[in-house]
Amino acid sequence: MQPIYRRILYGFILLAGLVWIFASVDKTGASTAGRIPAPQKGFLAPDFALKTPTGQTYTLSQLKGKAVLVNIWATWCPPCRAEMPTIQKFYQQYQSQGLVVLGVNATAQDNPLDIVPFVTQYGLTFPILLDETNDLGSKYNLRSLPSSFFVNRDGTIADVVIGGPMSDALLQTDIETILKSPAN
Amino acid sequence: MLDLFRNIFAPPRDLILLVAAAWIGMSLTEKRAARSHAEKSLVSNLIFYGVLAYLLGGRIFYALEHLPAFTQSPLSLISPNTSAFDSWGALAAALIAGFVYGQRKGMLFWSTLDALTPFFALLAIGIGFSHLASGAAFGIETTVPWGINLWGAIRQPTQIYEIIASLVTFGVIWFRKANSKPGSDFLLFAALTSASRLVIEGFRGDSTLVLGGIRSAQVIAWLILAISLVALELLKPRVIPAEVVEKVEPVMETKRKEVKRNAPSVPTGATTTSKKTPSSKTKSVTAKRKSSKD
């Protein structure tokens, strides 16, 4: 191709690129992080309402203003068992600063009879929720256990940790991050 | 099919796709190193040290950012959590390691980048598959028949677009002729990758927006595209204009004749490295002379 034609082509490509940038402007702001509910870092944590074994209901949206760790686990899962003592330790350490830990049992793929003995064995004092219909699992695209979602005070997800066990430093870092997050 | 793929390679197993892509890319890079006038073993070592620096740098930078937590539990430094990783720090470490290694071994900058291009291209394909598996880099909601169900809505399959674009880019890089100037493989890859990102970003549902809804990644992609195209143009050999050729050609023809006249006669049975044939212009001149004689 002659240089002049090539340069014209390059110029046309760049001009078309500019046109496309302005044509694909997101006027609604729909893709702005924090507005779409999605189990992704930077986006609004999908809402859910689940019950504890004693029948008390916890709704995520009602916890807005607090730093929330949603940890999804099962009794048969070794990494889940391995990270539970660390989660409990940091829950006790940071509870007074506004940390809420929701230990969501993936009940649809667990034996319900094992849950209460598990909680007793590890001395867990944070709320344990039962995801009996995989409602939360579906909303949070659950494919690996454990999965942890660190939710800022404004309801957006600060970090997602798939798999485990989480290291002490990672857990502490992420908890401190969500505790420092602004409420709005 | 898509659900099966996403179940098999759900995070953190999506990293398998990246590792596989890097491994194939490394093999192809070794195959193509000679074409770019780069030494195979040096390029392999460069990738190895680059990847090593990327992994170590990512964790070290993360630990430095969160030093108090890591001071309390130093063993966390070697935990397998991929979240405890600083991507920009990792990239900086890889670039520094690659640059230092290249300098020490006297590797040529553009030739090395050309040799590494298949690796980058394969990595881009791997990243596309990894995004498809994890559901990251997802598209906006759509009604197109080829939309995929993701995050509770039918969305543009931006990850599939990404894979297709990366495959096309790889194909162009891999099957193009080897007679290009140093740096052109890499710059072409940069241009094609940024152009595809510029287009695909417009369908993304997770863009970071600036200035009234402009997608920042598109602006960056456009700038990289512009720089790559300008650099590509600068790399191209200059074409001599036709009028200059017309002026120069008679002078060159005279010189060729002089050289031919003064050249010693080639003994019988001797071979020459090249055999010059008369140009079409010479042929026509000879024909004219013959016709005038007749």
CA distance A81 to A60: 24
Q: Say yes or no: A6 and A45 in one domain.
A: no
The neighbour count for residue A28, using CB atoms within 10 Å, is 10
Q: What whole-number distance in Å separates Cα of residue B109 and Cα of residue B72?
A: 43
Tally the residues of chain A.
184
Ranges A57-66, B55-64, B232-241: which has the least confidence: B232-241
Mark yes or no for CB contact B218/A21 under 8 Å: yes
Question: What pLDDT score was predicted for residue A29?
Answer: 59
Q: What is the pLDDT of residue B144?
A: 93
CATH number for the domain harbouring residue A134: 3.40.30.10
* Residues A21 and A92 both lie in one domain: no
Are A150 and A166 contained in the same domain?
A: yes
What is the reported pLDDT for B176? 87
Domain extent at residue A23: 1-28
- Which DSSP string corresponds to A92-129? HHHGGGTEEEEEEE-GGGS-HHHHHHHHHHHT--S-EE
Provide the pLDDT for residue A30.
54
Mean local confidence (pLDDT), B219-228:
97
Smallest CA–CA separation between A121 and chain B, in Å? Answer: 25
Taking contacts as CB-CB distances below 8 angstroms, the residues of chain A near B218 are: 20-21, 24
Do residue A1 and residue A43 come from a single domain?
A: no
Whether A64 and A19 map to the same domain: the answer is: no
A105-121: b (≥16 Cβ within 10 Å) or e: bbbbebeeeebeebbee
> Measured between CA atoms, how close is B143 to chain A, in angstroms?
16
Question: B105: phi > 0 → left, psi -120 to 50 → alpha, else beta; which?
Answer: alpha
Taking the Cβ of residue A144 and every Cβ of chain B, the question of whether any pair is shorter than 8 Å is answered with yes
Query: Which residues in chain B are closer than 8 Å to A93, comparing Cβ atoms?
Result: none
Tell me the domain boundaries of chain B: 2-38+108-235
Amino acid identity for residue B13 in this structure: R
Q: Does the pLDDT value for residue A184 go beyond 80?
A: no
Residue-wise pLDDT for A24-67, tens only, equals 887 665 555 556 788 888 788 999 999 999 999 999 999 989 99
Is residue B215 within a helix (H) or strand (E), and if so which, with residue range? strand B214-215
Query: Which of A71-75, A137-141, B131-135, B178-182 is predicted least confidently?
Result: B178-182
Would you call A9 an interface residue with chain B, using a CB distance cutoff of 8 Å?
no
A10/A60 same-domain check:
no
CB B46 within 8 A of CB B102: yes
Average pLDDT, chain A: 90
**Pair B131, B137: CB distance under 8 Å:** yes
CB A79 within 8 A of CB A165: yes
User: Does residue A103 share a domain with residue A89?
Assistant: yes
In contact, A154 and A90? CB cutoff 8 Å: no
Residues B178-198 have pLDDT tens digits of 766 888 999 999 999 999 999
A81 with A167, same domain?
Answer: yes
The answer to whether residues A14 and A81 belong to one domain is no
- The structure tokens listed for A105 are 């049992």
How many folded domains does chain A comprise? Answer: 2
Neighbours of B24 (CB within 10 A): 16
Do residue A29 and residue B6 have CB atoms under 8 angstroms apart?
no
- Which residues of chain A neighbour B76 with C-beta distances below 8 Å? 167-170
Tell me if B111 sits within 8 A of B35, measured CB to CB: no
Residue B65: Cβ within 10 Å count:
12
Kindly state whether residues A154 and A79 are assigned to the same domain: yes
Q: How far apart are CA B101 and CA B107, in angstroms?
A: 8
Q: Answer yes or no: do A14 and A47 share one domain.
A: no
Of B34-38, B46-50, B136-140, B255-259, where does mean pLDDT reach its minimum? B255-259
Distance from C-alpha of B84 to C-alpha of B177, rounded to nearest angstrom: 43
